[in-house]
Structure 1
Amino acid sequence: MADEHTTAGRTAHAVVIGGGIGGLTAAAALHRDGWRVTVLERAGSLDPVGAAISLAPNALRALDVIGLGDEIRGLAAWQDGAGPARTGVAGDEGGVRVPSGRWLARSSTAAAAERFGGPLVLLHRATLIERLAARLPDGTVRLATAATLVDRGGPGRPARVGTADGELEADLVVAADGIRSGVRGALFPDHPGPVYSGFTTWRVVLPVPGLTSSTLASHETWGQGRIWGTHPLKDGRTYAYAAAVTPEGQQAPDDERAELVRRFGDWHDPIPAVLAAARPEDVLRHDVHHIAEPLPAHHRGRVALLGDAAHAMPPTLGQGGNQAIEDAIVLALSVPRLRPGAGAPVAESLAAYTAARQPRTTAITRRAVRVARLNMMSHPVGTAVRNAAIAVLSQAGPALFLRGFDGIADWRPPRRTYASEEAGVVVP
């Protein structure tokens, strides 16, 4: 395979390993730019593992690049710009509470939308996956196809990806294969990989009688070493999540719904109603891990890592999926739109991707770890001090409380600045 400067008569090929949110966003963005894309997903379907995802203004602006932003904004539970949010940034009737139900902080989503230039949208992951997949040609996604990196490639040499059906050559490989990324291990075998964050999470999405976007005060409740969040979805269902400090690898002795009842059953309304509506099979439980030691780079050769494969973070800022979407769009903007004679080589362009993404994702990961230490605090004295500080900040107004998302939710996608534009090449 020739280098990109001599690709006349051939459409450049990108292989995406992983059909989650980040991988499908990258596939859609590259397809939009004229690449031939193959997505390899080891699962038998695109049904995501997980429940809901909150998309902040930064991710929605990234989705604008592929024409999906407004479609997703239309799924907000509040159509006046308000919506539930992570880490206590909730609607006008929401905020942060303690287990008794007392409000520590109330915050306006109108203020958040004004500060960050748009709403926050909470939706089921399956909905986002469906909308992203619809932007790809039939046959792009190959299900039940495990993939391994055979050769990372380089200038003048393609990357190669192995499957049970044979090898694929690629001008670009996008590794979106998650927190246990095999590609990351192949590229950086000496990296220690993810570490346990110290807590586990439970999630449910289900209809709860009496709870809708008009009746539910979207909230996150902070206890001692435990948190709970309840938020409405536009389709009438309720998304609830919980977290607790536990040893790694634990499971409930009976079932996870019963475990939630033991840990949260005496907390304020509507938590008992959510638990009453849940069945054991509705509850997902996962230990939380993050990448504490940043990777040396987010690429090697013709291979780019994105999302959890590159920078897994605790969910305490609600930015894991958002950063994967940012990664995907910035990656597509970093590599050339391949046309005969156009663009810098992929292997060189990926250095720009690392330069753009590594500092930002490292900083956000570290901030998410700090927030996790705060809201998963177990010591009663420390918890009392934390709660008092939150109450004081809330009294100062929502703008002060929202500062924790400055530099995150106000992000905007960069302009495409690679060599083909600088050389005056016309790119449709």
Structure 2
Amino acid sequence: MPQAVVVGAGIGGLTSAVALRRQGWEVTVLERAAAIEPVGSGLAIAANALKALDTLGLGDRVRALSRVQGQVGIKRADGRWLTHTTPEAAEGRYDDSVVVLLRATLMEVLTDAIGPDALRLGIGVSEVDPEGGVVRTEAGEELRADLVVGADGIRSRTRQALFPRHPGPAYSGVTAWRGLVPRGELEIRSTESWGRGLVFGVNLLAGDLVYVYATDVSPPGLAGGDERAELIRRFGGWHDPIPALLRAADPALIIRSDVHHLAEPLPAYHRGRAVLVGDAAHAMTPNLGQGACQAIEDAVVLAHVAGSGGPAAYTAARLARTRKMVRRSWAVCRVTKVRNPLVAGLRDAAVSLGTRLVPDLLVRSLDEVLGWRPPGQEAAPGGVVSSRPRRP
């Protein structure tokens, strides 16, 4: 039985472990933390990632958590729609919409799927030898593997071992807030609202929790004060229900972090017997909502090719697509960073006009992102052929 060691128990690492085990690999996951404590609040699992999870038998468990309803899309700070669609439009095109859920919930689903025997917590990795497939822990243990999977995030030590001359992550110019707020009596729709250099997103989760996120152009390293007060200062005059959500938020549950990404792409996602997945390979800004989705895609593709084509085949299958996702996400980030009132007005007018000229522009513009299919399945132009029965 081939042996794999996964460094990191985030979404990419856990999904890789599940996928490899289902292909007959013996997998050990090493996680530095003593417990799995997911960073962040919520995340989006879009149609492409749901299809990937289907190959692992986990897609419908995640779909059952969906609360996205009614019109969804992008608004101005005053509440006027710039572009919108419905979950039904996305489902008609891709046979799936999007599920927004707690990161902790997805981690629980993945951890259950790999079983307790594969996961070793409190194990820090000190060194990775990609050519020999050797992982050395901080406790002095040496593990040898046919495949080493670096899933240790944006500050990946595994990436540094594979590509020591790569400059690493760069600051995007924006800081981000994330939080969970009780819904109460508020009417909630899944929206993202754009201002001049500012973004505010609202999503309803299972359990009547509301996941909120926001970004603003900012120098790095300013986190640490009263972050709810900071959000009220920036967004307190925006459209409903944003001010009410901020008033109801618990300041202790608001997380602020500067947004970094891999602005300089890696030349490959492998070296020797080691590969990189998720943020370790292609950390992107959150503007497409594809960070976790691309990590899930990585894992499924890796498991598909690892036994035959090996690490080189994984790079060949993933490099071009993920580079495009990083570029597209950065392009949206740059658009939302616009502070000049005239330029921001032209941006909003262009999005609004495009929606009037092209019905369901918001959905159609994502064909390249959401139309992806797992290995061995065919994608139809302008849509997707499902691997599972279409829901009535």
TM range, smaller chain = over 0.9
What's the TM-score once normalised by structure 1's chain length? 0.85
Deviation at 1:138, TM superposition (A): 2.1
Contact 1:265-1:272 within 8 A present in 2 as well: yes
- SS of the equivalent of 1:122 reads strand
Residue 318 of structure 1 and its aligned partner are, at CA, apart by 0.3
Quote the residue 1:39 is aligned against. 29
Paired with 1:350 and 1:13, the residues of 2 have a C-alpha distance of 14
Q: What are the within-5 Å matches in structure 2 for residues 97-176 of structure 1?
A: 97-153=75-131, 157-176=132-151
- 1:253-272 alignment, distance < 5 Å: 254-272=225-243
Matches of 2:166 and 2:370, distance apart in 1: 30
Q: Percent identity?
A: 49
- 2:149 counterpart SS class: strand
Instruction: Output the amino acid matched with 1:363.
Output: K
Shift in alpha-carbon separation, 1:183–1:158, aligned structure 2, 3 A = closer
Deviations 1:269-317 (A, max 9, x none): 1111111111211100111111111111100011010000000000000
Aligned equivalent of 2:247, options 250, 268, 276? 276
Deviation string 1:389-423 (CA, Å, 9 cap, x unpaired) is: 1111222344323232111101001139xxxxxxx
The answer as to whether partners of 1:117 and 1:410 remain within 8 angstroms in 2 is no
* Equivalent of residue 183 in structure 2, options 201, 208, 211: 208
Q: Name the CA distance, whole Å, in 1 between partners of 2:298 and 2:124.
A: 23
Q: Given the alignment, which residue of 248, 261, 264 partners 2:220?
A: 248
Greater shift, 68-77 or 105-114, is seen at 105-114
Following superposition, the deviation at residue 116 of structure 1 comes to: 2.1
Deviations 1:139-169 (A, max 9, x none): 311111111334213xxx5433334151111
Conserved? CA contact 2:237–2:243, under 8 Å: yes
Instruction: Give 3-state SS (helix, strand or coil) of 1:415's partner.
Output: coil
Q: TM-score, normalised by structure 2?
A: 0.93
In the other structure, the counterpart of 1:96 is 74
1:249 CA displacement: 1.4
- 2:101 and 2:205 in contact (8 A); partners too: yes
**What's the C-alpha RMSD, in Å, of the aligned pairs?**
1.5
Please list, as runs of the form range in 1=range in 2, the aligned pairs for 1:218-237 lying within 5 A after superposition. 218-237=190-209
Runs of 4+ in structure 1 deviating by more than 4 angstroms, as ranges, are none
What one-letter code is carried by the residue in structure 1 that aligns with 2:239? Answer: H
Q: Residues of 2 paired with 1:400 and 1:274: CA distance?
A: 29
Report the 3-state secondary structure (helix = DSSP H, G, I; strand = E; otherwise coil) of the residue aligned with 1:239.
Answer: strand
Q: Which residue of 2 aligns with 1:51?
A: 41
Q: Sort the Cα spacing of 1:360 and 1:311 in 2 relative to 1 into closer, same or farther, 3 A.
A: same
The amino acid that maps onto 1:294 is P
Q: Counterparts in 2 of 1:277-316, with a 5 A limit?
A: 277-316=248-287
Match of 1:7 in 2: none
Q: Work out the number of aligned pairs and report it.
A: 377
State how 1:326-337 maps to structure 2 within 5 Å.
326-336=297-307
Aligned equivalents of 2:83, 2:281: Cα separation in 1: 34
Please state whether the residue corresponding to 1:235 is helix, strand or coil. Answer: helix
State whether residues 82 and 351 of structure 2, in contact with CA within 8 Å, keep that contact through their aligned partners in structure 1: yes
* Mapping of residues 2-41 of structure 1, within 5 Å: 11-41=1-31
Residue in 2 that maps onto 1:69: 59
Q: Which runs of 5+ in 2 are unaligned?
A: 378-392
1:192: which partner in 2?
Answer: 167
Contact 2:149 2:276 in 1 (8 A): yes
Q: Structure 1 CA distance, aligned partners of 2:38 and 2:274?
A: 24
Shift of 1:238: 0.3
- Distance (Å, rounded) in 2 between the aligned partners of 1:137 and 1:204: 30
What SS does the corresponding residue of 2:365 show, helix, strand or coil? helix
Q: Distance in 2 between matches of 1:291 and 1:184?
A: 11
SS in 2 for 1:134: helix
Residue by residue over 1:77-132, the C-alpha shift from the partner in whole angstroms, topping out at 9 and shown as x without a partner, is 1xxxxx2xxxxxxx533322111222222322211121222121111010000000
Which protein is richer in strand relative to its size?
A: 2
Q: Which has the larger radius of gyration?
A: 1
Partners of 2:278 and 2:170 lie apart in 1 by: 16
Contact 2:125 2:135 in 1 (8 A): no
Whole-Å Cα distance in 2 between the matches of residues 334 and 319 of structure 1? 22
2-side partners of 1:49 and 1:414: how far apart?
Answer: 30
Unmatched 5+ stretches in structure 1: 1-10, 78-82, 84-90, 337-343, 417-428
Matched letter for residue 199 of structure 2: I
1: CA distance, partners of 2:12 / 2:258: 21
